[in-house]
Protein backbone atom coordinates (compact mmCIF):
# COMPACT_ATOMS: atom_id res chain seq x y z
CA UNK A 1 0.00 0.00 0.00
CA UNK A 2 1.04 3.60 -0.60
CA UNK A 3 0.01 7.08 0.63
CA UNK A 4 0.36 9.96 -1.82
CA UNK A 5 -1.15 12.79 0.23
CA UNK A 6 0.63 13.72 3.48
CA UNK A 7 1.71 16.86 5.32
CA UNK A 8 4.65 17.57 7.64
CA UNK A 9 5.23 20.32 10.18
CA UNK A 10 6.80 22.39 7.40
CA UNK A 11 3.16 23.14 6.50
CA UNK A 12 0.20 22.26 8.71
CA UNK A 13 1.01 18.70 9.75
CA UNK A 14 2.36 17.84 13.20
CA UNK A 15 5.02 15.25 12.26
CA UNK A 16 8.52 16.36 11.35
CA UNK A 17 9.71 15.02 7.98
CA UNK A 18 11.92 12.50 9.80
CA UNK A 19 9.03 11.35 12.03
CA UNK A 20 6.88 10.93 8.94
CA UNK A 21 9.51 8.75 7.26
CA UNK A 22 9.71 6.56 10.38
CA UNK A 23 5.90 6.34 10.57
CA UNK A 24 5.75 5.35 6.89
CA UNK A 25 8.24 2.56 7.55
CA UNK A 26 6.24 1.39 10.59
CA UNK A 27 3.06 1.36 8.48
CA UNK A 28 4.87 -0.85 5.94
CA UNK A 29 4.12 1.56 3.11
CA UNK A 30 5.69 0.90 -0.27
CA UNK A 31 5.70 4.58 -1.25
CA UNK A 32 4.86 7.93 0.31
CA UNK A 33 4.47 11.35 -1.27
CA UNK A 34 4.91 14.48 0.82
CA UNK A 35 2.43 17.07 -0.42
CA UNK A 36 2.90 20.04 1.89
CA UNK A 37 0.98 23.23 1.17
CA UNK A 38 3.09 25.58 -0.99
CA UNK A 39 6.51 24.29 0.15
CA UNK A 40 9.13 21.62 -0.59
CA UNK A 41 10.91 22.14 2.73
CA UNK A 42 9.33 19.00 4.23
CA UNK A 43 10.22 16.87 1.21
CA UNK A 44 13.78 18.23 1.08
CA UNK A 45 14.27 17.39 4.76
CA UNK A 46 12.64 13.94 4.40
CA UNK A 47 15.00 13.19 1.51
CA UNK A 48 17.89 13.62 3.97
CA UNK A 49 16.29 10.88 6.10
CA UNK A 50 15.61 8.51 3.20
CA UNK A 51 17.44 5.72 5.04
CA UNK A 52 14.62 5.62 7.62
CA UNK A 53 12.10 4.46 5.01
CA UNK A 54 12.74 1.50 2.69
CA UNK A 55 9.93 2.48 0.28
CA UNK A 56 9.89 5.16 -2.39
CA UNK A 57 9.77 8.82 -1.33
CA UNK A 58 7.96 11.02 -3.86
CA UNK A 59 8.20 14.77 -4.19
CA UNK A 60 4.78 16.42 -4.21
CA UNK A 61 3.10 19.70 -3.44
CA UNK A 62 -0.41 20.94 -2.68
CA UNK A 63 -1.07 24.41 -4.05
CA UNK A 64 -4.02 26.68 -3.27
CA UNK A 65 -5.31 28.17 -6.53
CA UNK A 66 -8.13 30.40 -7.76
CA UNK A 67 -10.76 28.66 -9.84
CA UNK A 68 -14.00 30.39 -10.81
CA UNK A 69 -13.61 32.85 -7.96
CA UNK A 70 -13.02 30.20 -5.31
CA UNK A 71 -9.99 28.61 -3.66
CA UNK A 72 -9.32 25.16 -5.13
CA UNK A 73 -6.40 22.94 -4.13
CA UNK A 74 -4.15 21.32 -6.71
CA UNK A 75 -1.65 18.51 -6.17
CA UNK A 76 1.57 18.20 -8.17
CA UNK A 77 3.66 15.00 -8.30
CA UNK A 78 7.22 15.16 -9.56
CA UNK A 79 7.89 11.56 -10.56
CA UNK A 80 10.57 12.49 -13.10
CA UNK A 81 12.71 14.16 -10.47
CA UNK A 82 12.42 17.10 -8.11
CA UNK A 83 11.57 20.46 -9.71
CA UNK A 84 14.33 22.78 -10.75
CA UNK A 85 15.01 26.41 -9.95
CA UNK A 86 12.29 27.81 -12.21
CA UNK A 87 9.45 26.12 -10.32
CA UNK A 88 11.05 26.80 -6.94
CA UNK A 89 11.46 30.46 -7.90
CA UNK A 90 7.79 30.69 -8.80
CA UNK A 91 6.95 29.03 -5.48
CA UNK A 92 8.98 31.67 -3.62
CA UNK A 93 6.55 34.27 -5.00
CA UNK A 94 3.59 32.23 -3.75
CA UNK A 95 5.19 32.05 -0.29
CA UNK A 96 5.78 35.80 -0.30
CA UNK A 97 2.10 36.50 -0.92
CA UNK A 98 1.26 34.17 1.97
CA UNK A 99 3.59 36.06 4.31
CA UNK A 100 2.03 39.37 3.27
CA UNK A 101 -1.43 37.93 3.91
CA UNK A 102 -0.29 36.77 7.35
CA UNK A 103 0.87 40.29 8.25
CA UNK A 104 -2.44 41.80 7.15
CA UNK A 105 -4.32 39.11 9.08
CA UNK A 106 -2.45 39.97 12.29
CA UNK A 107 -3.28 43.66 11.78
CA UNK A 108 -6.97 42.87 11.29
CA UNK A 109 -7.06 40.67 14.39
CA UNK A 110 -5.30 43.33 16.46
CA UNK A 111 -7.70 45.92 15.02
CA UNK A 112 -10.56 43.90 16.48
CA UNK A 113 -8.92 43.93 19.89
CA UNK A 114 -7.42 40.44 19.74
CA UNK A 115 -4.19 40.38 21.74
CA UNK A 116 -2.00 38.40 19.33
CA UNK A 117 1.35 38.81 17.53
CA UNK A 118 2.97 36.98 14.64
CA UNK A 119 5.36 35.40 17.15
CA UNK A 120 2.39 33.88 19.01
CA UNK A 121 1.33 32.30 15.72
CA UNK A 122 4.85 31.22 14.73
CA UNK A 123 5.17 29.17 17.91
CA UNK A 124 2.47 26.85 16.51
CA UNK A 125 4.28 26.24 13.24
CA UNK A 126 7.74 25.74 11.88
CA UNK A 127 8.13 26.47 8.19
CA UNK A 128 5.28 28.06 6.33
CA UNK A 129 2.70 29.70 8.59
CA UNK A 130 -0.96 29.51 7.59
CA UNK A 131 -4.41 29.97 9.01
CA UNK A 132 -4.36 26.64 10.93
CA UNK A 133 -1.51 28.09 13.02
CA UNK A 134 -3.48 31.30 13.58
CA UNK A 135 -6.40 29.12 14.70
CA UNK A 136 -4.19 27.24 17.19
CA UNK A 137 -2.89 30.52 18.63
CA UNK A 138 -6.45 31.91 18.95
CA UNK A 139 -7.55 28.76 20.82
CA UNK A 140 -4.51 28.90 23.09
CA UNK A 141 -5.25 32.52 23.95
CA UNK A 142 -8.89 31.75 24.71
CA UNK A 143 -10.42 33.62 21.77
CA UNK A 144 -12.06 30.43 20.43
CA UNK A 145 -13.03 27.03 21.84
CA UNK A 146 -11.72 25.00 18.91
CA UNK A 147 -9.80 25.24 15.65
CA UNK A 148 -13.13 25.05 13.80
CA UNK A 149 -14.52 27.78 16.05
CA UNK A 150 -11.52 30.04 15.36
CA UNK A 151 -12.01 29.61 11.61
CA UNK A 152 -15.70 30.35 11.85
CA UNK A 153 -15.35 33.38 14.09
CA UNK A 154 -12.23 34.98 12.62
CA UNK A 155 -10.46 33.21 9.76
CA UNK A 156 -12.67 31.68 7.08
CA UNK A 157 -14.27 33.57 4.22
CA UNK A 158 -17.21 34.69 6.35
CA UNK A 159 -15.05 35.23 9.46
CA UNK A 160 -14.60 38.69 10.99
CA UNK A 161 -10.94 39.09 10.01
CA UNK A 162 -10.71 37.19 6.71
CA UNK A 163 -7.97 38.47 4.43
CA UNK A 164 -7.94 37.12 0.86
CA UNK A 165 -4.66 35.70 -0.37
CA UNK A 166 -3.28 36.37 -3.80
CA UNK A 167 -3.49 32.79 -5.08
CA UNK A 168 -2.27 31.76 -8.54
CA UNK A 169 -4.97 30.97 -11.08
CA UNK A 170 -5.74 27.24 -11.39
CA UNK A 171 -4.66 27.29 -15.06
CA UNK A 172 -1.34 28.92 -14.22
CA UNK A 173 -0.58 26.44 -11.42
CA UNK A 174 -1.37 23.52 -13.76
CA UNK A 175 0.97 24.97 -16.41
CA UNK A 176 3.77 25.52 -13.90
CA UNK A 177 3.54 21.92 -12.69
CA UNK A 178 3.55 20.61 -16.28
CA UNK A 179 6.53 22.81 -17.18
CA UNK A 180 8.38 21.28 -14.22
CA UNK A 181 7.55 17.82 -15.68
CA UNK A 182 5.05 17.17 -12.89
CA UNK A 183 1.66 15.48 -12.86
CA UNK A 184 -1.12 17.88 -11.76
CA UNK A 185 -3.97 16.11 -9.93
CA UNK A 186 -7.20 17.42 -8.40
CA UNK A 187 -7.33 16.54 -4.68
CA UNK A 188 -10.57 15.86 -2.77
CA UNK A 189 -12.76 16.69 -5.83
CA UNK A 190 -15.84 16.85 -3.61
CA UNK A 191 -14.66 20.27 -2.45
CA UNK A 192 -15.10 21.62 -5.99
CA UNK A 193 -18.68 20.40 -5.92
CA UNK A 194 -20.63 17.70 -4.12
CA UNK A 195 -22.98 17.66 -7.10
CA UNK A 196 -21.61 15.01 -9.46
CA UNK A 197 -22.87 16.68 -12.67
CA UNK A 198 -21.44 20.07 -11.71
CA UNK A 199 -18.14 18.45 -10.76
CA UNK A 200 -17.98 16.61 -14.07
CA UNK A 201 -18.40 19.89 -15.93
CA UNK A 202 -15.55 21.47 -13.94
CA UNK A 203 -13.26 18.45 -14.36
CA UNK A 204 -13.93 18.55 -18.11
CA UNK A 205 -12.69 22.14 -18.22
CA UNK A 206 -9.76 21.42 -15.88
CA UNK A 207 -8.65 18.60 -18.15
CA UNK A 208 -8.60 21.02 -21.08
CA UNK A 209 -6.44 23.33 -18.95
CA UNK A 210 -3.91 20.49 -18.55
CA UNK A 211 -5.05 18.53 -15.49
CA UNK A 212 -3.63 14.98 -15.68
CA UNK A 213 -4.94 13.29 -12.54
CA UNK A 214 -7.80 13.06 -10.06
CA UNK A 215 -7.62 11.98 -6.42
CA UNK A 216 -10.10 9.11 -6.27
CA UNK A 217 -8.95 7.81 -2.86
CA UNK A 218 -9.08 10.21 0.12
CA UNK A 219 -10.22 10.07 3.77
CA UNK A 220 -13.28 12.20 2.98
CA UNK A 221 -14.57 9.96 0.17
CA UNK A 222 -17.46 7.50 0.41
CA UNK A 223 -17.38 4.29 -1.63
CA UNK A 224 -19.76 5.94 -4.10
CA UNK A 225 -17.44 8.96 -4.38
CA UNK A 226 -14.46 6.70 -5.15
CA UNK A 227 -16.42 4.96 -7.91
CA UNK A 228 -17.57 8.25 -9.40
CA UNK A 229 -14.12 9.87 -9.34
CA UNK A 230 -12.68 6.73 -10.95
CA UNK A 231 -15.30 6.99 -13.69
CA UNK A 232 -14.26 10.62 -14.28
CA UNK A 233 -10.64 9.45 -14.57
CA UNK A 234 -11.71 7.00 -17.26
CA UNK A 235 -13.88 9.52 -19.08
CA UNK A 236 -11.27 12.30 -19.20
CA UNK A 237 -8.12 10.11 -19.49
CA UNK A 238 -6.82 11.18 -16.08
CA UNK A 239 -4.50 9.21 -13.81
CA UNK A 240 -6.07 8.07 -10.53
CA UNK A 241 -4.20 9.32 -7.46
CA UNK A 242 -4.88 8.81 -3.79
CA UNK A 243 -3.80 9.33 -0.22
CA UNK A 244 -5.05 9.85 3.30
CA UNK A 245 -4.28 13.63 3.65
CA UNK A 246 -2.39 12.77 6.82
CA UNK A 247 -1.72 15.77 9.13
CA UNK A 248 -0.55 13.91 12.27
CA UNK A 249 -2.17 15.01 15.52
CA UNK A 250 -3.51 18.12 13.73
CA UNK A 251 -6.17 15.75 12.27
CA UNK A 252 -6.04 12.78 14.66
CA UNK A 253 -8.87 10.84 13.03
CA UNK A 254 -6.78 10.33 9.86
CA UNK A 255 -4.19 7.50 9.97
CA UNK A 256 -1.17 7.37 7.67
CA UNK A 257 -1.77 4.96 4.79
CA UNK A 258 -5.23 4.07 6.12
CA UNK A 259 -7.39 7.20 6.41
CA UNK A 260 -10.46 7.28 8.67
CA UNK A 261 -11.17 3.82 10.11
CA UNK A 262 -9.21 2.27 7.26
CA UNK A 263 -11.25 3.84 4.47
CA UNK A 264 -8.19 4.62 2.31
CA UNK A 265 -6.20 1.76 0.80
CA UNK A 266 -4.12 2.81 -2.18
CA UNK A 267 -2.39 -0.05 -4.02
CA UNK A 268 1.10 0.34 -5.52
CA UNK A 269 -0.27 -0.08 -9.03
CA UNK A 270 -1.80 3.43 -8.73
CA UNK A 271 1.75 4.82 -8.63
CA UNK A 272 2.84 2.64 -11.55
CA UNK A 273 0.03 4.07 -13.68
CA UNK A 274 0.81 7.64 -12.59
CA UNK A 275 4.36 7.15 -13.84
CA UNK A 276 2.99 6.18 -17.24
CA UNK A 277 0.78 9.29 -17.34
CA UNK A 278 3.71 11.43 -16.39
CA UNK A 279 5.69 10.17 -19.36
CA UNK A 280 7.77 7.50 -17.65
CA UNK A 281 7.24 3.77 -17.99
P1 LIG B 1 -4.07 29.07 4.38
O2 LIG B 1 -3.44 28.25 3.29
O3 LIG B 1 -3.09 29.63 5.34
O4 LIG B 1 -5.04 30.10 3.85
O5 LIG B 1 -4.95 28.02 5.24
C6 LIG B 1 -5.75 27.12 4.56
C7 LIG B 1 -5.84 25.83 5.35
O8 LIG B 1 -6.62 26.04 6.49
C9 LIG B 1 -6.53 24.72 4.57
O10 LIG B 1 -5.62 23.96 3.82
C11 LIG B 1 -7.17 23.90 5.66
O12 LIG B 1 -6.24 22.92 6.12
C13 LIG B 1 -7.40 24.89 6.78
N14 LIG B 1 -8.82 25.30 6.86
C15 LIG B 1 -9.49 26.10 6.01
N16 LIG B 1 -10.76 26.31 6.43
C17 LIG B 1 -10.90 25.60 7.59
C18 LIG B 1 -11.95 25.42 8.53
N19 LIG B 1 -13.15 25.98 8.37
N20 LIG B 1 -11.71 24.63 9.60
C21 LIG B 1 -10.49 24.06 9.79
N22 LIG B 1 -9.46 24.19 8.93
C23 LIG B 1 -9.64 24.96 7.86
FE1 LIG C 1 -3.69 21.02 5.31
FE1 LIG D 1 -6.30 20.04 0.37
ZN1 LIG E 1 -3.73 18.05 1.88
Q: How does pLDDT run across 81-121, given as a tens digit for each residue?
A: 899 899 999 999 999 999 999 999 999 999 999 999 999 99
> How far is the centre of ligand 3, averaged over its atoms, from the C-alpha of 113 (Å)?
31
* Mean pLDDT to the nearest integer, 178-200: 97
**Ligand 1 shell residues, CB under 6 Å:** 12, 37, 64, 130-132, 147-148, 151, 156, 165
> Up-side HSE of residue 153: CA atoms within 13 Å toward CB?
16
pLDDT in tens, 130-174: 999 999 999 999 999 999 999 999 999 999 999 999 999 999 999
Q: Are strands 183-186 and 70-78 parallel, antiparallel or unpaired?
A: antiparallel
| Sequential DSSP letters for 90-149 | HHHHHHHHHHHHHHHHHHHHHHTT----HHHHHTT-SSS--HHHHHHHHHHTTS-SSHHH
pLDDT score recorded for residue 281:
41
For all residues of the chain together, what is the average pLDDT? Answer: 96
pTM of the model: 0.95
How does residue 207 score in pLDDT terms, banded at 50, 70 and 90? very high
The residue whose CA is least distant from atom 13 of ligand 1 is 132
Say yes or no to pLDDT of 280 above 70. no
Position in ligand 1 atom list of the atom nearest CA 62: 10
Residues forming beta bridges with residue 56, ordered by sequence position:
31
pLDDT score recorded for residue 279:
62
Q: How far is the C-alpha of 78 from the C-alpha of 81, rounded, in Å? A: 6
Say yes or no to pLDDT of 267 above 70. yes
Contacts of 44 (CB under 8 A, 6+ apart): none
Amino acid sequence: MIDLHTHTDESDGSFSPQQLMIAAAQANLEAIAITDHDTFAGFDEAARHAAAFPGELICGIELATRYRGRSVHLLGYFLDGVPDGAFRGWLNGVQKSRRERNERLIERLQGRGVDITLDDVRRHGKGLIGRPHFAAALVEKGYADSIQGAFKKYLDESGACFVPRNEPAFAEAVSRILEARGLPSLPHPGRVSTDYAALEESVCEMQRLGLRGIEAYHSDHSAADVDFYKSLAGKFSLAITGGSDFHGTAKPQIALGAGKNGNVRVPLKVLDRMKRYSGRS
